[in-house]
Amino acid sequence: MNCNYGISLSPDGVCLFSEGMRAVLQRVSSAHVSVGGVETGRIGPGLLIFLGVGCGDEEVDADWLAARLLKLRIFESEPGKMDRSVTDVSGECLVISQFTLYGSLKKGNRPSFNRAASPNEADTLYRYFVQRLSADLERPVPTGRFGEHMRVEAQNDGPVTLVVDTKARDF
């Protein structure tokens, strides 16, 4: 996979490092996304997933991340006891592409996104991830629109917000 914005590549064009696919997920009562005033996705109770694809990410990262998110026990069976997954509660997922999860402030106040995958490669893996979630949930997963300016509204439940990174699997 090629890197975005001129990051160092090996002679054969492969990224010299891998950041890991990142997801910020929120447990929600409901969420929806619109592009240009037109709603593109809506869910009831479930997970709002902001997905970032990094330089060097592959389908194996998307497979692991999808499986991991669907198994997370962050829904309550009774007050104060989180022991059910989104599949256990028949919840839904809404996936929003977000390359800004790779923003680095290492060199100042203006974020650099040079560790995000190139748009074409990120879109391919984003679509693959959504297809994987849809297959595992056995229903379509609504999304925003890759590369577009989106308005996302959510009714957080908890709140419960987690960051999951395929290269920091023990975090």
Q: Would you give the DSSP letter of residue 118?
A: P
Q: Which of 17, 100, 155, 161 is catalytic?
A: 100
Tell me the DSSP string of 38-76: EEEEEESSEEEEEEE-BTT--HHHHHHHHHHHHH---EE
131 in catalytic set: no
Going by their DSSP bridges, the two strands 38-43 and 81-84 should be labelled as unpaired
CA distances from 84 to 8, 27, 87, 133, 156 (A): 43, 12, 8, 17, 17
Inter-residue contact 122 to 53 (CB < 8 Å): yes
Q: Which of 98, 143, 146, 166 is the catalytic position? A: 98
* Nearest to 17, CA basis, from 28, 27, 4: 4
List the catalytic residue out of 99, 129, 146, 166: 99
Q: Which residues are catalytic?
A: 98-100
